[in-house]
Structure 1
């Protein structure tokens, strides 16, 4: 059994208590309420509680993809930048309740799942550790990411901002509140990777790579549609085909010019112009071929570099930090 992580002295929400009925632990509220804090329509009694929690926190698609994520992202669960540093990476932090999108970034934005009020309760962790190990591992993984996201008072203040709130209203916004939160969240830093859901072997994930990987694995057409219109989605899929078509068109046009100039070479008039056309077509053919080959070589080099880095990361001794600028 996974040990209880949160001690009552460090909890930030005391609304829940654990009671035992017939040898089974159940959650109850000590303020007379009957619902889960932060979920006003979710009753503590009945089978819907665990069903709802499994729907919120389990991420089977990402767990299924986890053995292959090492090929597209750094194999490092601590590869997570603090909230205050996300803007330096050119990203806006967006609160998002979809757990599968937690720490997934796309261009100028990164999605982060907020902490629900009941996750700040010691009683909840005592109960969920016994009630459902899958949910426990998924939620504990989520909480451990906050040990990296919130490392300073600046991070805490940004996470409490009303424009993109990551923390419950009850946590407060003072320095004392931050210190209490830091002591609370630090309890999750002791968790090892193998005690959490497979997704949490990794930190931040790039959405564009997830979309291509999930297609390659024949799981879904795409991991997540950022663009709501199919036209924009099809354009992103057609972009590589259009680039290939443009390169081939240039090559074919240059070859056609060369052949046409060769056919006119027996004519005495315009010999200089014909010669220029012949050599220019050759230059265009060579330049396009070299540029295309160079681009493919760069892409192959980046891919090889990332795979070598991933291999070194997997086989690196414990405590040996490998630095990389690849996200």
Structure 2
């Protein structure tokens, strides 16, 4: 069974305690006053909210990706550590987009990557001990394990997203706020050192993989008839239709050149000198053959790229199965 990946001395949020009766309570602040009775970072959720299980399920679980996990090897590298740091994301030209949907965490498309901010309550040891491990928790025992594994996966992902102080500066920037600003880099680095050691067996199936490419995810989602797409890439019809302009114009250009070459061939008059006729027909035939060669070349390149990625994915899958034997 999965456990909390850090000890009480390593926690970065001390806003909760567990009393002698084993019940979660707010801790005292620096002035000796009790803090408000809500989940740290979530003023709308009371500590004793009977719907705590439903709230955490919505905030942390990824049921669609867990169900799709047997096919995720077609989408991404089968390695939960395959996550680039925040500075590396910028080097790759990706904008960091904040999302509260756990299903979009570490999903990227074109120049964007979606990242879910780290909930403050996950950095509290009493939160884990009471809600996810205790029999007195308001969360059903059947749901505790799922939530615990999802929380482990989210925490582990941050050990790869934030590897340097420059990554931490990005994570705590006012425009991003992925990590609470009151936490120091030294303490966070000490915690993430522990989080790196979380095993795959202790995280939900989605976190057996790292970053996921949204375009591939949408493609295979259709192939396996799980839905029209996993998530939209473009939210405006104009942006969606713009993706088809280039291929449509390319096809029209090809047909225009082919038709023009055929017209030249048909328009050659037998009354013209033989040298002129041969030149017209020769150039027309050359154009048609050149178009065929270009189309064949592009098709071969496409097939090679698809086969290359498929072979890599299959070999990676075989290696993963061998490691698990």
Give, in whole Å, the separation in 1 of the partners of 2:248 and 2:222: 17
Displacement of 1:243: 4.2
Deviation at 1:69, TM superposition (A): 2.1
**2:304 alignment partner in structure 1:** 301
Query: Cα–Cα, structure 1 residues 68 and 245, in superposed 2: closer, same or farther, change >3 Å?
Result: farther
C-alpha change, 1:27 and 1:299, in structure 2 (3 Å) is farther
**What's the counterpart of residue 280 of structure 1?**
283
Per-residue CA deviation, residues 294-321 of structure 1 (Å, 9 max, x unaligned), is 112112212222222223323338999x
Matched residue SS, 1:219 = coil
| 1:40 Cα deviation from its structure 2 partner | 0.7
Change (3 A) 1:274 1:136: farther
Which residue of the partner structure matches residue 14 of structure 2? 14
Structure 1 equivalent of residue 76 of structure 2: 73
The count of residues paired between Structure 1 and Structure 2 equals 308
Instruction: Call closer, same or farther: CA 1:12–1:318 in 2, change over 3 Å.
Output: farther
**Aligned residue runs from structure 1 range 25-104, under 5 A:** 27-30=24-27, 31-104=34-107
TM-score, scaled to structure 2: 0.84
Note the 1:117-136 alignment, pairs <5 A. Answer: 117-130=120-133, 131=139, 132-136=144-148
Map 1:130-279 → 2, pairs under 5 A = 130=133, 131=139, 132-171=144-183, 177-236=184-243, 240=247, 243-244=250-251, 246-258=253-265, 260-261=266-267, 264-265=268-269, 267-269=270-272, 271-279=274-282
Instruction: Tell me, yes or no, if the aligned pair for 2:66 and 2:205 is still in contact at 8 Å.
Output: yes
What's the CA shift for 1:225? Answer: 2.5
User: What is the SS of the residue equivalent to 2:74?
Assistant: coil
**Unaligned regions of 5+ residues in structure 2, if any?**
28-33, 134-138
Which stretch of the first structure deviates more once superposed, 121-130 or 51-60? 121-130
Alpha-carbon distance between aligned partners in 2 of 1:318 and 1:159, rounded to the nearest angstrom? 35
Equivalent position of 2:136 in the other structure: none
CA deviations 1:234-255 (Å, max 9, x no partner) are 3425755554454445444434
1:64, CA displacement in angstroms? 2.5
Question: Unaligned 5+ residue runs, structure 1?
Answer: 172-176, 321-327
Relative to structure 1, is the Cα distance of residues 17 and 238 closer, same or farther in structure 2, using a 3 angstrom cutoff?
farther
Cα RMSD between the aligned structures?
Answer: 2.7
Using the size of structure 1 for normalisation, the TM-score is 0.84
* Shift in CA distance, 127/306, structure 1 to aligned 2, threshold 3 Å: farther
1:180 and 1:78 map into 2 onto residues whose CA distance is: 22
SS at match of 1:161: coil
